[in-house]
Structure 1
């Protein structure tokens, strides 16, 4: 087993797919980590499994965390409709899942310590996103500090865990161009918040994806 291991948060979307391939290109042995967190559809988990299989990861863990038990997000609460998107919005959309990335990174830290991995990859960006507070660099840095104070590796063994957010200042178009270079099969990725057989084309995530592919000058093979 390689001494250079990484945990990659893999949602099934294009951001996490490119992050996974980037980690592999940097020589990491990848352990993919996905979550069944009570989201209203499992289409993205199907994509995550397909991406992990095609990329040839060392392991793929799917963890069940029922964040939808207390509602408050249209991604987990069937009573809340997924609103149509607005790429120019400045408010926090109803699709925000409370503290989701905080929870995900905490689980990733547990897996990292269990595997002896010092690297975690997450495909967040604070440039081209839906306004989520847990996609900002200040949050990522704070989580990295907390993880290293709350793990034996970080606090006692002088083997700190690094959270890599390589797209934090990149647009989705930048990610797509990189993904093309890395050989990412975008036809396997899923972004739509509404699920179904085909993307709705009108939610925030669909609009951001369409905008990004157009700006990158790349055909979205998932459509």
Structure 2
């Protein structure tokens, strides 16, 4: 069976990617990153998702704690408030303060190394250019450039069998993602999207609000509990 590494955060988008990769006939190899994020509880959600798909034995959790030491993001620096109610809290005019410098570049580099070792043909990542258009590492052009580098920097790439980066959600609305996930039976009840990292989702951070709106637009209700 062909293999795919799935970058699994424990959130809605990456879990949808798990369902899509399975539906497309891939054997799943999920990889989760602990980068000192304040919403570290999502790692447990990722473990539950891996268990749901019966791939717990292949689920890897990789520590990237130095990203917390670097800081520079509301997700890794406790002194920076997570924006609520649509307040962007930008680093500059375009990039939200929830952007973690270098995160997806590191994720894809490590996933590439893992994929080459296990003989995986693809890496699935749930980046989305519509909902998170301010994140430079969620853009299609970023993905294309990383794929080019992967082809140059790996043995399989040099030998003519480059690893593909699959971004099936990159141009989808949140409602479209949720509808597809429900069609595939994705376990959204096991996921979280909240940036604040509390036991129940806050319901007011930008990520919670995007998720709630997505379920509403999809004509469904979110199966996880919220404080607000």
TM range (shorter): over 0.9
How far apart are residue 79 of structure 1 and its match?
Answer: 1.3
How far apart are residue 177 of structure 1 and its match?
Answer: 0.2
Instruction: Go from structure 1 to structure 2 and tell me whether the alpha carbon gap of 1:41 and 1:167 turns closer, same or farther (over 3 Å shift).
Output: closer
How far apart are residue 130 of structure 1 and its match?
Answer: 5.7
**Partner SS, residue 163 of structure 1:** strand
For 1:29 and 1:214, the matched residues in 2 are separated by 32
Matched, 1:61 2:63: no
Instruction: Go from structure 1 to structure 2 and tell me whether the alpha carbon gap of 1:194 and 1:214 turns closer, same or farther (over 3 Å shift).
Output: same
Instruction: Go from structure 1 to structure 2 and tell me whether the alpha carbon gap of 1:17 and 1:163 turns closer, same or farther (over 3 Å shift).
Output: same
How far apart are residue 152 of structure 1 and its match?
Answer: 0.6
Matched, 1:6 2:4: yes
Q: Indicate the residue corresponding to 1:195 in structure 2.
A: 197
Q: Indicate the residue corresponding to 1:101 in structure 2.
A: 104
**Partner SS, residue 81 of structure 1:** coil
For 1:47 and 1:11, the matched residues in 2 are separated by 8
Q: Indicate the residue corresponding to 1:82 in structure 2.
A: 82
**1:21-68 residue CA offsets vs partner (Å, 9 max, x unmatched):** 100011100100100011123211011000011012261010001211
Matched, 1:145 2:144: no
Q: Indicate the residue corresponding to 2:123 in structure 1.
A: 120
Matched, 1:18 2:16: yes
For 2:48 and 2:86, the matched residues in 1 are separated by 29
> Which 5+ residue runs of structure 1 have no aligned equivalent?
none
Runs of 4+ in 1 over 2 A off after TM superposition: 87-91
For 1:83 and 1:167, the matched residues in 2 are separated by 24
Q: Indicate the residue corresponding to 1:36 in structure 2.
A: 34
Q: Indicate the residue corresponding to 1:213 in structure 2.
A: 215
Task: Give the TM-score, by structure 2 length.
Answer: 0.93
**Partner SS, residue 59 of structure 2:** strand
Task: Tell me if structure 1 keeps the 8 A contact 2:30–2:60.
Answer: yes
> Which 5+ residue runs of structure 2 have no aligned equivalent?
none
**1:126-149 residue CA offsets vs partner (Å, 9 max, x unmatched):** 112262111110001111111111
For 1:83 and 1:16, the matched residues in 2 are separated by 22
State the Cα RMSD in Å: 1.5
Task: Tell me if structure 1 keeps the 8 A contact 2:39–2:194.
Answer: no
For 1:117 and 1:87, the matched residues in 2 are separated by 40
**Partner SS, residue 178 of structure 1:** helix
For 1:171 and 1:61, the matched residues in 2 are separated by 29
Task: Tell me if structure 2 keeps the 8 A contact 1:125–1:167.
Answer: yes
**Partner SS, residue 172 of structure 2:** coil
